[in-house]
A and B are shown apart, each in its own frame.
Chain A
Amino acid sequence: MAAAFTDEWGRIVAALIRRTGDWDLAEECAQEAFAQALARWPADGVPDRPGAWLTTVAKNRAIDRLRRERRGTELLERNAADGEAATMNEPMDDDESGIEDDRLRLIFTCCHPALPLEGRVALTLRTLAGLTTAEIARAFLVSEPTMAKRLVRAKGKIAAARIPYRVPPAHLLPERTGGVLAVLYLLFNEGYAASGGPHLIRAQLCDEAVRLARALSGLMPDEPEAAGLLALMLFHHSRRHARLDAAGDLITLEEQDRGQWDVAEIAEGRAQLEAALRHRRAGPYQLQAAIAACHADAVDVADTDWAQITSLYDLLTEVMPSPVVALNRAVAIAMSRGPEAGLEVIDGLEASGELARYHLLHATRADLLRRLGRGDEAAAAYGRARELAGSEAERRFLDRRLAEARRPGGDG
């Protein structure tokens, strides 16, 4: 049931939106179809084609409701006037390619740049992934009415300002695809390293982000960045069981038990990355995935090809210059050429001021000072990092490091 839900929800909602133009109706009918499945499948058994069953039920619900509300004809005529829109009478379950196109339309519409970013994220989780408003509210630490308002506002703008329900034309596609990838990446990151609150991993967000990235990569086989993003997520996701200890505290890459990394996800990530790189159009997601692949290839930190990672960060700095990329490049330099070389780069970054309030800059600087045996300076930098850290687990991690740095003769 859970598998059928996540696989089919987005497809059904996407198809119903195209046919009715009514987002709420589409969601409600999909919801009713799933409720009916929940009531009948345990007794009747799961149908041969659960997706087709759910689609038919949802579609019939939509027809019933439109008839009852006497607005069927008007809605369908209006959508027919939009040109390519289908009618409710067109078979929905037999036209697989059409359904996949609908899902891609829905992804692009939910991630339209005229919507506020938080609205794009919420809409993607609600209409594509089928999360409830309450679940999305919990994941983003806002109240349910606030999240409901966000969704209503986004849907209202789509209707009132007429944001088109379509895959953008070729001249807009590269830019808009970048926007879609950014939303999925943000979703994954929210789940992976929550920016606040008690839970470091909101596993469900990561799962949904991976699922949506897999769908997008399947729908856009000629877009290597889609496969690159999926690969990147898979490499990171593969470490999830090794990232936290029993208390929910962060374990660094260095100290993780790599035996706990998910081998199947790493293999899928590698396959996706190799397929993407064959297009010979390496973008930021493919480069970041290639860096993550270097870690997946190594049995431990010492075995890691830090020189290769440094050159990948050099390339990444060219295509996507950012202070955070510069910080990670400094870490790679410290690992391949020694802590002093890394510290030099980091001090330059700190002087430029952009990352002055970024806790990881101070945590990294502290770590390198500790390795150089400069305990007092390390302790001061850990203290600064702690002040700026966003989550409890991160603060506990920094507290342990701070205690280690203060210990006479530290671990070097």
Chain B
Amino acid sequence: MKYLMFVCVDHELATPEATKDMGERALAWMQEMDGRGVRVLGNRLEDISTATTVRVRGGEVVLADGPFAETKELVAGFDILECADLDEAIEVAGKHPVAQIGSLEVRPFAED
């Protein structure tokens, strides 16, 4: 079963102290999950200041700078997981270092 995992950071919790060795810890998580064969692919994303929102309204392309919604938690990356079931996906997400300073949303791929 494939799951998409959104990695969301809460900027109030992401203090310099809390994120000090985040890169190393995220790398360790990636290596563990790649080794187990549960991580199909994934990447960190650039800061939300680089995001562009695209809409088509009345046949015209309307662009906006930034993400579509102002929230406390922002998507900072994603991973595609291949897991036996939701319990395994929860376990994998729970080990991600960002889980401690944000949240991980795990959603199954729609089948067929």
Chain A residues at the B interface, C-beta cutoff of 8 Å: 112, 114, 160-164, 168, 172
The answer on a CB contact under 8 Å between A162 and B90 is no
Contacts A112-B86, A161-B86, A162-B86 aside, 11 further interface pairs with beta carbons under 8 A come to A114-B90, A160-B110, A160-B111, A161-B3, A161-B106, A162-B1, A162-B85, A163-B87, A164-B87, A168-B87, A172-B87
Q: Is B108 an interface residue (CB 8 A)?
A: yes
The answer on a CB contact under 8 Å between A161 and B87 is no
- A105→B106 CA distance, assembly (Å): 23
A277–chain B nearest beta-carbon distance, Å: 32
The answer on a CB contact under 8 Å between A160 and B108 is yes
CB neighbors of A among B74-108 (8 A): 84-87, 90, 106-108
The answer on a CB contact under 8 Å between A163 and B85 is yes
Among B1, B86, B111, the residue within 8 A (CB) of A114 is B86
Interface size band for B: 10 to 19
Residues in A with CB closer than 8 Å to B3 are 161
- A164→B86 CA distance, assembly (Å): 7
Residues in B with CB closer than 8 Å to A114 are 86, 90
Residues in A with CB closer than 8 Å to B107 are 161
Residues in B with CB closer than 8 Å to A160 are 108, 110-111
B87–chain A nearest beta-carbon distance, Å: 5
Residues in A with CB closer than 8 Å to B90 are 114
A165–chain B nearest beta-carbon distance, Å: 9
Residues in A with CB closer than 8 Å to B106 are 161
Chain A residue with Cβ nearest B106? A161
Number of CB contacts from chain A to chain B under 8 A: 24
Provide the B44-87 mask, 1 if CB < 8 A to any CB of A, else 0: 00000000000000000000000000000000000000001111
The answer on a CB contact under 8 Å between A164 and B108 is no
- A258→B51 CA distance, assembly (Å): 70
Chain A residue with Cβ nearest B87? A164
Residues in A with CB closer than 8 Å to B1 are 162
- A114→B107 CA distance, assembly (Å): 12
- A163→B86 CA distance, assembly (Å): 5
- A164→B90 CA distance, assembly (Å): 12
B5–chain A nearest beta-carbon distance, Å: 12
B12–chain A nearest beta-carbon distance, Å: 24
Residues in B with CB closer than 8 Å to A168 are 87
- A114→B108 CA distance, assembly (Å): 13
B6–chain A nearest beta-carbon distance, Å: 15
Residues in A with CB closer than 8 Å to B87 are 163-164, 168, 172
Q: Which of B84, B86, B107 has the most CB of A within 10 A?
A: B86
Chain A residue with Cβ nearest B88? A164
Residues in A with CB closer than 8 Å to B110 are 160
- A177→B67 CA distance, assembly (Å): 41
- A256→B3 CA distance, assembly (Å): 56
- A114→B106 CA distance, assembly (Å): 11
- A163→B108 CA distance, assembly (Å): 11
- A32→B24 CA distance, assembly (Å): 58
Residues in B with CB closer than 8 Å to A112 are 86
Residues in B with CB closer than 8 Å to A164 are 84-87
Q: 12 A–B contact pairs at CB < 8 A?
A: A114-B86, A160-B108, A160-B111, A161-B3, A161-B86, A161-B106, A162-B85, A162-B108, A163-B85, A163-B86, A163-B87, A164-B86
B62–chain A nearest beta-carbon distance, Å: 33
B26–chain A nearest beta-carbon distance, Å: 24
B111–chain A nearest beta-carbon distance, Å: 8
- A172→B86 CA distance, assembly (Å): 13
B86–chain A nearest beta-carbon distance, Å: 5
Residues in A with CB closer than 8 Å to B85 are 162-164
Identify the 4 closest CB pairs spanning chains A and B, nearest first: A164-B85, A162-B85, A161-B108, A162-B1
B107–chain A nearest beta-carbon distance, Å: 8
CB neighbors of A among B1-43 (8 A): 1, 3
Chain B residue with Cβ nearest A113? B90
Residues in A with CB closer than 8 Å to B86 are 112, 114, 161-164
Chain B residue with Cβ nearest A112? B86
B50–chain A nearest beta-carbon distance, Å: 31
- A172→B106 CA distance, assembly (Å): 19
Chain A residue with Cβ nearest B108? A161
Q: Which of B1, B87, B90, B107 has the most CB of A within 10 A?
A: B87
- A172→B94 CA distance, assembly (Å): 13
- A160→B109 CA distance, assembly (Å): 8
Residues in B with CB closer than 8 Å to A162 are 1, 85-86, 108
- A112→B106 CA distance, assembly (Å): 15
